[in-house]
Amino acid sequence: MMRVRVIHGPNLNLLGKRDPEVYGSHTLEQINAEIERLAGELDMEVQISQHNSEGEILDAIHACCDWAQCIVINPAAYTHYSIAICDAIKAVRLPAIEIHLSNIHAREEFRHRSVTAPVCVGQIAGFGVSSYLLGLYAARDIIAKRWR
Amino acid sequence: MMRVRVIHGPNLNLLGKRDPEVYGSHTLEQINAEIERLAGELDMEVQISQHNSEGEILDAIHACCDWAQCIVINPAAYTHYSIAICDAIKAVRLPAIEIHLSNIHAREEFRHRSVTAPVCVGQIAGFGVSSYLLGLYAARDIIAKRWR
Amino acid sequence: MMRVRVIHGPNLNLLGKRDPEVYGSHTLEQINAEIERLAGELDMEVQISQHNSEGEILDAIHACCDWAQCIVINPAAYTHYSIAICDAIKAVRLPAIEIHLSNIHAREEFRHRSVTAPVCVGQIAGFGVSSYLLGLYAARDIIAKRWR
Amino acid sequence: MMRVRVIHGPNLNLLGKRDPEVYGSHTLEQINAEIERLAGELDMEVQISQHNSEGEILDAIHACCDWAQCIVINPAAYTHYSIAICDAIKAVRLPAIEIHLSNIHAREEFRHRSVTAPVCVGQIAGFGVSSYLLGLYAARDIIAKRWR
Amino acid sequence: MMRVRVIHGPNLNLLGKRDPEVYGSHTLEQINAEIERLAGELDMEVQISQHNSEGEILDAIHACCDWAQCIVINPAAYTHYSIAICDAIKAVRLPAIEIHLSNIHAREEFRHRSVTAPVCVGQIAGFGVSSYLLGLYAARDIIAKRWR
Amino acid sequence: MMRVRVIHGPNLNLLGKRDPEVYGSHTLEQINAEIERLAGELDMEVQISQHNSEGEILDAIHACCDWAQCIVINPAAYTHYSIAICDAIKAVRLPAIEIHLSNIHAREEFRHRSVTAPVCVGQIAGFGVSSYLLGLYAARDIIAKRWR
Amino acid sequence: MMRVRVIHGPNLNLLGKRDPEVYGSHTLEQINAEIERLAGELDMEVQISQHNSEGEILDAIHACCDWAQCIVINPAAYTHYSIAICDAIKAVRLPAIEIHLSNIHAREEFRHRSVTAPVCVGQIAGFGVSSYLLGLYAARDIIAKRWR
Amino acid sequence: MMRVRVIHGPNLNLLGKRDPEVYGSHTLEQINAEIERLAGELDMEVQISQHNSEGEILDAIHACCDWAQCIVINPAAYTHYSIAICDAIKAVRLPAIEIHLSNIHAREEFRHRSVTAPVCVGQIAGFGVSSYLLGLYAARDIIAKRWR
Amino acid sequence: MMRVRVIHGPNLNLLGKRDPEVYGSHTLEQINAEIERLAGELDMEVQISQHNSEGEILDAIHACCDWAQCIVINPAAYTHYSIAICDAIKAVRLPAIEIHLSNIHAREEFRHRSVTAPVCVGQIAGFGVSSYLLGLYAARDIIAKRWR
Amino acid sequence: MMRVRVIHGPNLNLLGKRDPEVYGSHTLEQINAEIERLAGELDMEVQISQHNSEGEILDAIHACCDWAQCIVINPAAYTHYSIAICDAIKAVRLPAIEIHLSNIHAREEFRHRSVTAPVCVGQIAGFGVSSYLLGLYAARDIIAKRWR
Amino acid sequence: MMRVRVIHGPNLNLLGKRDPEVYGSHTLEQINAEIERLAGELDMEVQISQHNSEGEILDAIHACCDWAQCIVINPAAYTHYSIAICDAIKAVRLPAIEIHLSNIHAREEFRHRSVTAPVCVGQIAGFGVSSYLLGLYAARDIIAKRWR
Amino acid sequence: MMRVRVIHGPNLNLLGKRDPEVYGSHTLEQINAEIERLAGELDMEVQISQHNSEGEILDAIHACCDWAQCIVINPAAYTHYSIAICDAIKAVRLPAIEIHLSNIHAREEFRHRSVTAPVCVGQIAGFGVSSYLLGLYAARDIIAKRWR
């Protein structure tokens, strides 16, 4: 069974309450339920957590070494400046997929740059909750070495 | 039945012959076959074409008005400078999904900027052939207004 | 009789369908009719065409050598990056007038820069269909060497 | 009868004496006479003044509220840095047309940027005295809501 | 009795008429009345004036030497480019407080930079009419050397 | 009774010990006492805390939803790069007031930019302890919708 | 016999008519004749074409795979922005030599940057018609692996 | 007898009172007396004035046409942004000499750039009162066409 | 006995597992043992800790006030953006030495800039484990005021 | 007989020993022999020298006035910053040809800019030893005024 | 008797031969004679030398310590990049005057920046040979502490 | 016995005389004595020289090939622009250690960038004379392949 670690970054605990016109009106609980539903379909085990602290995200990434085959991560605001998360992803040497609910390329200039994307396999941005689901499909293809 | 238009940008006709370490070793024909296979699965009609000329890509986008519900486009090199393609996508007022085989955020600095992404719903980059397939899943969710 | 060549750039064939709040709701056919009406009034012969392809615009500019006394050109999106159109205008050594329907100086930062304006006599931007008509008046004054 | 306010910016009182190869050899008096002639033709009342002081230009713009339907303004050097004029035009909420005798886009880099154009309806640059006359035509179309 | 000089910069005479959604709907007269009311409460003498001309603002600042203990200044548009006002404030060697009705840090990029703030004691921006009143409180604390 | 949340950012626990020539010689305890004193005067309830961790500041902001009507925050060093705090303030949809003891516009270039100010109502910087007190006055006016 | 493909970019069909003080007074036909003369001398077969369309240049480069051992290309205006041509050259994996009639490093700032040069073996610029002839000599050395 | 116009820019009326460690402790009256003394020695007639208003400086420069052979100008703060003064100097077509009391190249970055120097014959900066006196010597050499 | 505090920044707990070609193959435990061995030799007491959280690093720096005479810190990724760590080091007013295992000046552009180095005594980068040992030697010389 | 001066810049004495994968494995002596062989063929007299000192290169360029008809120069590292060499080439008013062994446009960003190329006739870069030989051919065409 | 050291930078030995329209037609010998003539008049001893090598200029500046009271230096091209000359002037702690024959502020952008001016007392640029003579007058005033 | 070459860059011969508050009060002779003392201790042979000329530094680096195992170099001002020294270090393929007496990261912006550090093993900056001594320790560890 494939093992995928899903990490939600800062402020995502407010989802559903926060800028619904940008991020949709689903709560994090609803998103997690949907992730787990699709994971089941894809015969995939998932571990999911959300963290506001950059340090905790580092810890979560480090812990992947012992279990996960792939990381699906939405670094949220940290995307744009956390070189520490960039270094952590690079250090654990696991394939990672960067997820964004909103299309960061259509927002403020400072959100166009991702310091974490260069160490990920790829980036999926702009599809709301679907971004996470697409991330699971991508994780499956990466782990299964499909189309590589 | 959902109707999705897939547009491949410049030089993609060389796929399989070109930088396999970056883009994988599949030919465009193989990719198209895979797109059509998944489209069948998703109960989706697709029209696919590849163009080296920026003007022809504009024509292809314009023609979407009469048929497509969603555009899946890999503008390739034009991603980084074709304001004309940006304007065309904006003008047809159809949801578009930007696709990249490689992780453009991990390549040369000038490939990090996309002038077309801001007028798309979102961007999927870095998953090789899977990028297109993820694009189809995304198109389905957009047309079905799932998770929006 | 004065001879003026009017060249419409990429995506302008969509006028009337495209972002009416930015470009007005007139179709290209209506604009051309109005151009021809005023040309008649000003005792001016006009040739009008629209092109999505940068290469075709070069061809159209090159062909001006044999007939036109002045070029009225709306390079649209190409305004901001087509050094090739800039070179073509400079090469044919005919006075050219750059036209924009919208006020490009009030839009996105990247639309403020024109690479073609420096080789034109001048630029008229922001007056919708009137921009073209003002262009004809300007062409008349240039050809007649009025106020020079 | 339409009411248009024409405002000439700094140093334009020297016209005819100043860089004739750039601005033509007409004096400001000759230009004003021509403006008044065309205004008569277009059934338009005009008020014209020239100011070297930024503060006086602000006063002149403020005073437009009580009389003018449209402002035709050549902010000259202030074009490139007077955020105060930008704010004044925005504040009076009247349509304004930015005029330049020379093609500012073909001159020094620092003259390419206009801080006032974004709050104007549009910009006409490079046609010498004709720039003002085209400005009157544009004012007529704006006031008459022609082609809008 | 404390003596405070309040200087309003360019275009502020239009307050109440100008962009009410940005600056609120109070006229300058109402604001001045409120400033005088609070000054009375704080046992403070105020002199207030408004100027559109940069030169007149310099004169007003220079004149502070003979009377004021503190300057409360809203340089408005000049905030962003008037090195002359910056030099004047520095030259009179009086504590100055920079005031903005709107939150300049939330507006266009070019309004984020203040060339006058570095020579002021501090900046208060974004609280509408209250910005001025907070400025009076700050002036009181500075003159009284409270909390310093 | 108005309810205001005061959040002190990183390193402010060292106040009084740290660069007294920049931040004054008052300890955080003295500042908090003064804040509470004025809050009492203004008939305002305050909750005050200080955090070195960016994640804890996010938590503190999130918790405001349940109690506070206004946030008074000194993000200190995080002002200049914490897009996460920016997102948190925007997400809770409460009015926030950015406070700085020192005049950040008069310090190193990198301290001039605030990534949090654009999502706050306004910014007060440079008045030492008084900055916080002015922040309370501003909070009162915002909650009471005075002068809005 | 060595096989070299010579590709002339946009506007070069106007040579001899266009800015003779910059590009010399030779027509493209005369240049081609001279290229063929030297090719004969060097025992080299050449195929020569000129294209205004970026798309056609891509096609021409792609077609080199089947015949040419080396590409001699003057991308003209496209030099400075056509990432598509850059990608095409890289994709065909043939040695390419970038040619410019004029010294692009002595012209406008925007002509100093070449986006195609990094994927070529080298660049020869500034020698008029001789640039092409030097390109043939270079092609000979590359194919013959002389001095490598 | 040579005729030289000396123009002092904004805030210079405060000399002697203002930043003596930067500008020296001499008043403008003392400087003017010294200028007149040396002018007498050099058999030169001088007219001297000081202006805080940019508009008045333009008027003063314009008036030079009728009398002066050379302009000695210290544009002070306007040096760094007044394109209007730049245009005025260029327009009157008289040789001008830019003077600065302090060494602007050793002060804040924004004082290193002069927008007026490019239209002057040259610049003298950093010698305190002597800067003006050196300016008179330079004016003498220019008018007398010495060493040219 | 000299007292030196050694602080390891984020991700350094992965040392030995992470990019051995960049950081060498030693684990943090081995490095700490070596630090302690040399400290013994130099008659120095050391306290060592590693933290992934920026906030914890601030706490660790603050705590130095009570014990350490010198700080040896490798801020790792935080080097490049943590103004908070910069402020903390400045605030405690203890000499600090910045350490990097790799030569940050030879890596990605964004790693060349250190926001913490300006408040340290100096920087040692590129010598692998030896960087820390050199840091101890430097600490000894600083505390002993050798060569100062 | 044509007279050509060949100047090798800094570090080129190490050729053959230095980065053979970038510059080829030929020594400077071998390159000079080849230059002399081709010069003989072209009926050309050459003088060749290599200098590590910028000052000596200036002297060598100055000395060209008395003998050479053309300069073939590889300024190596000085290419990118020696305005002094730029001025020297401009001053001697002889045609110069800039040579680079490697394709500087394909190396580090800072090697793309040449401060010397703008004052040369042209630039040849990337062909290894052949770059020099192409330089001789170019020199012949320039001196013989072929194709000019 | 005052002792002044005059140092001419690179390429100035070519004066009279080099770009006479920029630098005038006087040779360095003529300039030196004129410098010596005025020095005599001002009762000043001068030592003059010219150097093409940056290292020799450093030596010349260092040697000033033992004799000169003031340095008059024209660093020519080195003005724009020689941080070494900047450091040398700062190190010898003698007043230095930067001289330029041409108005560097009216030439190419890269000549506007002086890295040596910030450590000089001031800069005199644009007066041809007179620049040096003005430099001597300035040196006299500095040594005599006139007007300081 | 280890063999280490120590190279002092421009102006360092003035040490002890120059800015003692920045570089300490030790003369170069004292520093060299200390270097030799420690070298003795470490069983290391050193050769030391100081050069003001960039060309001589290149020669010194080239000469290392024949003797040294490691280079300890303080390029002083050349650090920030000498691409030639960068190329020389890279060419000799010996490990080099960059030394700075002062903390260049705490000085002017232009001193933060090192063009030579990327080709060195590492950089030691800010420890005064100790920087050199730490450099010797580092050299020892590099030669002995300790901790690598």
What mean pLDDT is predicted for residues C11-38?
Answer: 87
| CA–CA distance, A47 with A41 (Å, rounded to integer) | 15
Length of chain F: 148
pLDDT at H53: 98
| pLDDT 10s digits, E91-112 | 999 999 999 999 999 999 999 9
State whether residue F56 sits within 8 Å of chain I by CB: yes
Out of A118, A128, A148, the one facing B105 most closely (by C-beta) is A118
Distance CA J141, CA J144 (A): 5
Distance in angstroms (rounded) separating the CA atoms of residues K112 and K79: 10
Q: Does C60 contact G at CB distance below 8 Å?
A: no
Residues in chain D where the model's pLDDT stays below 70: 18-19, 21-23, 147-148
Beta bridge partners of F6: F48, F72
Q: Which of I51, I78, I100, I132 is catalytic?
A: I100
Per-residue pLDDT, L17: 75
- Alpha-carbon distance C94 to H9, whole Å? 45
Q: Do chains C and B touch (3 or more CB pairs under 8 A)?
A: yes
Phi, then psi, of C38 in degrees rounded to 5:
-65, -40
Higher model confidence: residue J22 or residue A98?
A98
> Which of D27, D53, D58, D104 is the mutation pick for testing H, counting most H CBs within 10 A?
D53
pLDDT at position L22 is 63
| ipTM score | 0.95
The one-digit pLDDT tens for each residue of chain K (148 residues) are: 999 999 999 999 999 876 676 667 899 999 999 999 999 999 999 999 999 999 999 999 999 998 999 999 999 999 999 999 999 999 999 999 999 999 999 999 999 999 999 999 999 999 999 999 999 999 999 999 876 5
Q: In the prediction, which pLDDT does F10 show?
A: 98
Stated length of chain G: 148
Instruction: For residue K132, indicate whether it is catalytic.
Output: no
Residue numbers of the domain that contains A49:
2-146
Among this protein's residues, is D100 annotated catalytic? yes
Q: Do F53 and A56 touch (CB under 8 A)?
A: no
Residue J18 has pLDDT above 70, yes or no: no
Residue H147 has pLDDT above 70, yes or no: no
CA quadruple D57, D59, D62, D64: dihedral, nearest 10: -70
- H78 CA: distance to closest CA in chain K (Å): 16
Stated length of chain H: 148
**In the prediction, which pLDDT does L23 show?**
65
Find how far residue H93's CA is from the centre of its chain.
16
Identify which of K18, K55, K77 has the shortest CB distance to residue J83. K77
Nearest to E69 by CA among E25, E121, E28: E121
pLDDT for J22:
63
| Residues J38, J22: Cα–Cα separation, whole Å | 24
Contacts of E24 (CB under 8 A, 6+ apart): E15, E16, E101, E128, E129, F147, F148
pLDDT at D22: 63
Q: What is the CATH number of the domain that holds A84?
A: 3.40.50.9100
| pLDDT score recorded for residue B147 | 61
How many Å lie between the alpha carbon of H97 and the closest alpha carbon of chain K?
Answer: 9
3 state DSSP class of B36: helix
pLDDT in tens, chain B (148 residues): 999 999 999 999 999 876 676 667 899 999 999 999 999 999 999 999 999 999 999 999 999 998 999 999 999 999 999 999 999 999 999 999 999 999 999 999 999 999 999 999 999 999 999 999 999 999 999 999 876 5
Beta bridge partners of E45: E3
Looking at every residue in chain A, the average pLDDT score rounds to 95
Q: Measure the CA dihedral K136/K138/K142/K147, to 10°.
A: 140
> What single-letter DSSP state applies at residue I79?
G
Q: What is the pLDDT of residue H17?
A: 75
Instruction: Answer whether A90's CB lies under 8 Å from I19's CB.
Output: yes
Cβ distance of D18 and H81 shorter than 8 Å: no
Average pLDDT (H62-74) is 96
CB atoms G10 and C62 under 8 Å: no
The SS3 call for residue A69 is: coil
Q: Is L26 on the interface with I (CB under 8 A)?
A: yes
Structure-token match 């603050």, residue found: I62
**Rounded distance, CA B83 to CA B95, Å?**
17
Indicate the pLDDT class of residue A18, thresholds 50, 70 and 90: low
G62–B contact, CB cutoff 8 A: yes
Half-sphere exposure of J26 toward its Cβ, with a 13 Å CA cutoff?
Answer: 18
> Which is nearest to C84 in space by CA: C117, C65, C118, C58?
C58
- For residue H21, pLDDT over 90 is answered with no
* pLDDT recorded at residue E23: 65
Contact B109, B85 (CB under 8 A): no
Torsional class of J100: left (φ above 0), alpha (ψ -120 to 50), beta (otherwise): beta
Above 70 in pLDDT, residue C19?
no
Other C-beta atoms lying within 10 Å of the C-beta of residue G148: 14
Strand ordering across the sheet containing K2-8: H44-50, H2-8, H70-74, H96-100, H122-125, K122-125, K96-100, K70-74, K2-8, K44-50
Cα–Cα–Cα angle for L3, L6, L9, nearest 5°? 160
Share of chain E above pLDDT 70, in %: 95
pLDDT digits (tens, 9 = 90+) for G103-140: 999 999 999 999 999 999 999 999 999 999 999 999 99
CA distance A116 to H146: 65
pTM recorded for the entire structure: 0.95
Q: Which residues pair with G72 in a beta bridge?
A: G6, G97
Nearest to C78 by CA among C51, C103, C96, C60: C51
Domain count, chain E: 1
CA angle D132, D133, D138 (to 5 degrees): 95
CA proximity to G44, closest of G148, G120, G133, G147: G133
Predicted local confidence at residue E25, as pLDDT? 83
E88 lies within 8 A of chain H by CB: yes
| I25 close contact with L: CB closer than 8 A | no
Contact H123, K126 (CB under 8 A): yes
Choose the mutation target among I51, I52, I53, I54 for the interface with F, i.e. most F CBs under 10 Å: I54
Query: Are residues I13 and A82, on separate chains, in Cβ contact within 8 Å?
Result: no
Give the model confidence (pLDDT) of A19-76 as tens digits: 676 667 899 999 999 999 999 999 999 999 999 999 999 999 999 998 999 999 999 9
Mean pLDDT rounded to a whole number for chain I: 95
pLDDT for the residue numbered H18: 62
Residue range C53-57: average pLDDT? Answer: 98
- Per the CB < 8 A criterion, the answer to whether H70 and H52 are in contact is no
pLDDT of residue E19: 66
Helix H, strand E, coil C: the string for chain E is CEEEEEEECCCHHHCCCCCHHHHCCCCHHHHHHHHHHHHHHCCEEEEEEECCCHHHHHHHHHHHHHCCCEEEEECHHHHHCCHHHHHHHHHHCCCEEEEECCCHHHCCHHHCCCCCHHHCCEEEECCCHHHHHHHHHHHHHHHCCCCC
J145: Cβ–Cβ under 8 A, 6 or more apart, which residues?
A: none
CB contact under 8 A, K121 and H127: yes
Q: Among the options A51, A78, A100, A132, which is catalytic?
A: A100
Rounded to 5°, the CA angle F38-F41-F47 comes to 55
Contact F81, F41 (CB under 8 A): no
**Cβ within 8 Å, pair J84-K11:** yes
